[in-house]
């Protein structure tokens, strides 16, 4: 496993982490086959492979994810860099403090390594939220402060609201089908040494090669995503073919190539999800080797040409939702 410094915190986290939003989540037909013993075995396997960044949130499974993660790491706490998030409805000063206390109890730990604001809330002054975060750091209940889904302007505002601490990370969606952060957020993060934690690094499974125009996912979560329209899956197939050629040449899986492309940037770590140990083993194999300059250029050219169709996609999604119901 490869490790990078989280922001300027001094803490080192694995370039490939483990996202756990699916643990305990049965929303919209997702994780119907959820099994707690599989989830714990997956977390244990991740730790064995050197993955120390485990990310969860109070809202995942209404606290279930934190509870399962807490049980899984009970006797391995020193091997884990634990990240969780406070939900958008709990960003007032008092609510942040209470939410953190609840997360600490569910996780069965004395301190949260990285506490993140899950989404910005325009109705709560960010200064109020950050004052609470700094209090948690001073009390030793939180070690690092992060944000999630923050635009560049919101990130700057959040940092300015802190008086004694620094924001070490911003968790955002980033993958070969969604490179919006490269316009301004990624360059800024690079300059300021703020780590980008990339969620959905495999575009909800599209970049694993599992889905195609003739193989549309059945769960409502993906049916609601315009990327999964037949037309957009067809457009993404060009990227998948490029990844497949490189993967075959390297003796890798296409998902490993997609993740390796992300982690070529020291500012970026990826947190793909995994339901079972075999999945986390696949993810861990995305590092320990490097794409060469020609391969990166090939991937960039193909990826940059991807333009998702939107208007027709929304119509398609609505049609498929109607059929689902």
pLDDT tens-digit series, residues 286-298: 999 999 999 999 9
Does 239 fall in a domain? no
pLDDT band at 325; cut points 50, 70, 90: very low
Averaged over 274-294, what is the pLDDT? 95
Does 201 fall in a domain? yes
Angle at 176 between CA 229 and CA 201, to 5 degrees: 90
Distances (CA, A) of 147 to 22, 54, 56, 278: 20, 16, 13, 30
Does 55 fall in a domain? yes
Q: How many domains are there within the chain?
A: 1
Does 296 fall in a domain? no
pLDDT band at 233; cut points 50, 70, 90: confident
Does 193 fall in a domain? yes
- Residue 103 neighbours by CB distance under 10 Å: 24
Distances (CA, A) of 135 to 113, 287, 316: 14, 37, 48
pLDDT digits (tens, 9 = 90+) for 15-70: 999 999 888 766 444 455 567 889 999 999 999 999 999 999 999 988 999 999 99
* Whether pLDDT at 309 is above 80: no
Does 237 fall in a domain? no
Does 263 fall in a domain? yes
Query: Can you give 284-322 as a three-state secondary structure string?
Result: HCCCCCCCCHHHHHHHHHHHHCCCCCCHHHHHHHHHHHH
Residues catalogued as catalytic: 60
Does 277 fall in a domain? yes
* Whether pLDDT at 9 is above 90: yes
pLDDT of residue 125: 96
pLDDT band at 323; cut points 50, 70, 90: very low
pLDDT of residue 308: 79
Enclosing H/E stretch for 269: strand 268-270
Gyration radius of the chain's alpha carbons = 19
What is the rounded distance in angstroms from the CA atom of residue 125 to the CA atom of residue 175?
31
Is the Cβ–Cβ distance between 256 and 15 less than 8 Å?
A: no
Q: What is the mean pLDDT of the chain?
A: 90
Handedness of CA 219, 284, 195, 38 (dihedral sign): positive
pLDDT band at 217; cut points 50, 70, 90: low
pLDDT of residue 36: 86
Enclosing domain of residue 199: 3-205+252-290
pLDDT of residue 26: 61
Averaged over 182-196, what is the pLDDT? 97
What is the rounded distance in angstroms from the CA atom of residue 295 to the CA atom of residue 313?
31
Is the Cβ–Cβ distance between 61 and 273 less than 8 Å?
A: no
pLDDT digits (tens, 9 = 90+) for 133-177: 999 999 999 999 999 999 999 999 999 999 999 999 999 999 999
pLDDT digits (tens, 9 = 90+) for 86-141: 999 999 999 999 999 999 999 999 999 999 999 999 999 999 999 999 999 999 99
Q: Check which CATH number belongs to the domain holding 273 and give it.
A: 3.20.20.100
pTM for the model: 0.91
């Amino acid at each position: 496993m490869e490790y990078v410094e989280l922001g300027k915190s001094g803490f080192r986290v694995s370039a490939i982490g483990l996202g756990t939003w699916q643990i305990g989540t049965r929303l919209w037909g997702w994780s119907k086959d959820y099994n707690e013993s599989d989830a714990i075995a997956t977390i244990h396997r991740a730790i064995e492979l050197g993955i120390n960044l485990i990310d969860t949130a109070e809202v995942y499974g209404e606290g279930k994810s934190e509870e399962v993660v807490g049980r899984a790491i009970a006797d391995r706490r020193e091997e884990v860099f634990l990240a969780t998030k406070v939900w958008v409805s709990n960003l007032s000063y008092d609510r942040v403090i209470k939410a953190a206390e609840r997360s600490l109890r569910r996780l069965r730990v004395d301190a949260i390594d990285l506490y993140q604001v899950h989404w910005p809330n325009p109705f709560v002054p960010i200064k109020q939220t950050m004052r609470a975060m700094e209090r948690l750091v001073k009390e030793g209940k939180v070690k690092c402060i992060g944000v999630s889904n923050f635009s560049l302007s919101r990130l700057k505002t959040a940092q300015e609201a802190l008086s004694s601490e620094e924001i070490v990370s911003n968790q955002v969606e980033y993958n070969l089908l969604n490179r919006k952060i490269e316009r301004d957020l990624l360059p800024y993060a690079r300059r300021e040494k703020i780590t980008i934690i990339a969620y959905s690094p495999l575009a909800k499974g599209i970049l694993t090669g599992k889905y195609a125009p003739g193989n549309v996912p059945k769960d409502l979560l993906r049916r609601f995503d315009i990327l999964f329209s037949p037309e957009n899956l067809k457009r993404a197939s060009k990227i998948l073919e490029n990844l497949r050629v490189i993967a075959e040449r390297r003796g890798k899986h296409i998902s490993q190539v997609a993740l390796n492309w992300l982690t070529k940037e020291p500012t970026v770590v990826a947190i793909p999800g995994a339901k079972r140990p075999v999945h986390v083993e696949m993810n861990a194999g995305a590092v320990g080797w490097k794409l060469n300059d020609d391969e990166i250029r090939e991937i960039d050219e193909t990826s940059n040409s991807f333009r998702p169709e939107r208007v027709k996609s929304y119509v398609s999604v609505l049609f498929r939702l109607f059929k689902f119901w």
